[in-house]
Amino acid sequence: MAPTSCSQGRATCSTRRAPSSTGWRPGTSTSYRREAGRSTSMACKALGDGNTVAMVIVNPGNPCGNVYTYEHLGKIAEMARKLGIFVIADEVYAHLTFGKKKFVPMGVFGSVAPVLTLGSISKRWVVPGWRLGWIVCNDPNGVFHKTKVVDSIKSYLDISSDPPTFVQGAIPQLIKNTKQEFFDKTVEVLRQTADICWEKLKGVSCITCPSRPEGSMFVMVCEYYTFC
């Protein structure tokens, strides 16, 4: 695991077959290159090897409740570009933010490094267990097509089971008819419960909360011991 921002969540390097044989190499430089943090750079470089093909980020994050800024995501994209890898952005908690930082989709950096975005109905529509999600290629340079990543993903459709029919049937209604009020209410409940956890945990000895949650449905808690 490569920390992208210490207690604020992590980026993970996966180790699968590298796409080097397919000819993809890092693209042009951007202003984010100058901004890229050195510690993140060194940590990612140390974790990656010739077989590393992707960096996974979870934003908003489970289990830290972290929300990444536009600038931070830009650094991640630039890092991926430098390493010649792509980014897998798990955004199943997209839009579920209640701090100062708004949700920024990693896909906006798809021209810096290709991004595979994972989404789901389970969190934003609060239907855990419905098991219906999507994968979006944010890849204006067509890297995923050239390297046959898209074909590879499609081939998995033949071996993994589909979501239940009634769930598939509900999707058009769900997307079309869900009112903003519903989303606002969900975020408000998450804000309130996160605040309660944050405040109450302060009073529990041996437990500390490294950062106030700003998104998703989680609070990171650490154990600590003091000896007299």
Ligand X SMILES: Cc1ncc(COP(=O)(O)O)c(C=O)c1O
88 beta partners: 56, 116
Which is closer to ligand X, CB of 82 or CB of 131?
Answer: 131
Q: Which of 80, 92, 104, 113 binds ligand X (CB under 6 A)?
A: 92
Task: Round to whole Å and give the CA distance between 81 and 57.
Answer: 15
Closest by CA to 117, choosing from 75, 74, 161, 57, is 57
Site for ligand X in 4-33 (CB under 6 A): none
Query: 128: burial class by Cβ within 10 Å (0-12, 13-18, 19+)?
Result: exposed
Task: Round to whole Å and give the CA distance between 201 and 199.
Answer: 6
Q: Shortest approach of ligand X to residue 101 CB, angstroms?
A: 17
Q: Which of 90, 94, 149, 213 binds ligand X (CB under 6 A)?
A: 90
Which is closer to ligand X, CB of 114 or CB of 119?
Answer: 119
Q: Which of 62, 66, 147, 186 binds ligand X (CB under 6 A)?
A: 62
CA dihedral over 211, 106, 160, 173, signed as positive or negative: positive
Task: Round to whole Å and give the CA distance between 206 and 200.
Answer: 13
Site for ligand X in 114-173 (CB under 6 A): 120, 122, 128, 131, 133
Which is closer to ligand X, CB of 40 or CB of 120?
Answer: 120
User: Which amino acid makes up residue 6?
Assistant: C
Which is closer to ligand X, CB of 117 or CB of 138?
Answer: 117
Q: Shortest approach of ligand X to residue 35 CB, angstroms?
A: 26
Task: Round to whole Å and give the CA distance between 2 and 13.
Answer: 7
Q: Which of 2, 13, 53, 58 binds ligand X (CB under 6 A)?
A: 58
Q: Shortest approach of ligand X to residue 117 CB, angstroms?
A: 12
Which is closer to ligand X, CB of 44 or CB of 88?
Answer: 88
Binding site for ligand X (CB under 6 A): 58, 62, 90, 92, 120, 122, 128, 131, 133
